[in-house]
Amino acid sequence: MIFKKDKSAKTLFSAKEKKGIANAIREAELETSGEIRLHVENNCSGDVFTQAKKVFYALGMDKTELKNAVLFYIAVKDKKFAIVADKGINDAVPANFWENIKEKMKRHFAGGNYFEGVCEAIEITGEKLKTYFPRSDDDRDELSNEISIGE
Ligand code: CA
Ligand code: CA
């Protein structure tokens, strides 16, 4: 049981936290060409990674030039979350990299600290992206930094 019952995709984060998350993503992307997004929705009845991948494509995250987008996906009501990374970054990071981040997120979520969990995950991912995909002078913000909220 990692998400409290009264939480929904719209209320998991306060307005202030939403801004904070967009800001954390913006900061993480300052030093890398990689792109990070967070999608929050209520329900995921099937396999969470399959669903997260669908969202990854729906958000056009497979279209980054260097194939280095990372999606954090949360299904609030069904209490599931997943991380989807494109091929460029997936080929570069150690095998247990995403598992380690998920463990950290889980620990924060278990304590009700969703904001902290997401921000730490963004920060660690940004650090790693920076190593493999440094930002170039002509970098573009290929994907919005705002949270994507589904139904
Ligand atoms: Ca960029
Ligand atoms: Ca971005």
Other Cβ atoms within 10 Å of 114 Cβ, number: 23
Confidence (pLDDT) at 128: 95
Residues lying with their CB under 5 A of ligand 1, a single-atom ion? 139
Q: Give the torsion through C-alpha atoms of 12, 78, 108, 81, to 10 deg.
A: -100
Residue 6 pLDDT level (bands cut at 50, 70, 90): confident
How many A from CA of 128 to the centre of ligand 2? 16
33 and 135 Cβ atoms separated by less than 8 Å: yes
Mean pLDDT, residues 136-141: 93
Confidence (pLDDT) at 3: 65
40 and 76 Cβ atoms separated by less than 8 Å: yes
Mean pLDDT, residues 116-129: 97
Q: pLDDT tens, 13-43?
A: 999 999 999 999 999 999 999 999 999 999 9
Token pair for 21: 């998350």
Ligand lying closest to the C-alpha of residue 36: 2
How many A from CA of 32 to the centre of ligand 1? 7
Ligand lying closest to the C-alpha of residue 34: 1
Ligand lying closest to the C-alpha of residue 140: 1
Mean pLDDT, residues 42-56: 97
- Put simply, whether the predicted model's pTM sits higher than 0.75 gets the answer yes
Calculate the average pLDDT of the chain: 95
Confidence (pLDDT) at 151: 79
Helices (H), the chain: 15-29, 48-58, 87-92, 97-110, 114-132
Judged by phi (left if over 0) then psi (alpha if -120 to 50, else beta), residue 79 lies in left
118 and 21 Cβ atoms separated by less than 8 Å: yes
Rg of the chain's alpha carbons, rounded to an integer? 14
Ligand lying closest to the C-alpha of residue 143: 2
Ligand lying closest to the C-alpha of residue 37: 2
Q: pLDDT tens, 71-113?
A: 999 999 999 999 999 999 999 999 899 999 999 999 999 999 9
Q: Is the pLDDT of residue 1 over 90?
A: no
How many A from CA of 20 to the centre of ligand 1? 18
Token pair for 52: 């997260």
Confidence (pLDDT) at 2: 63
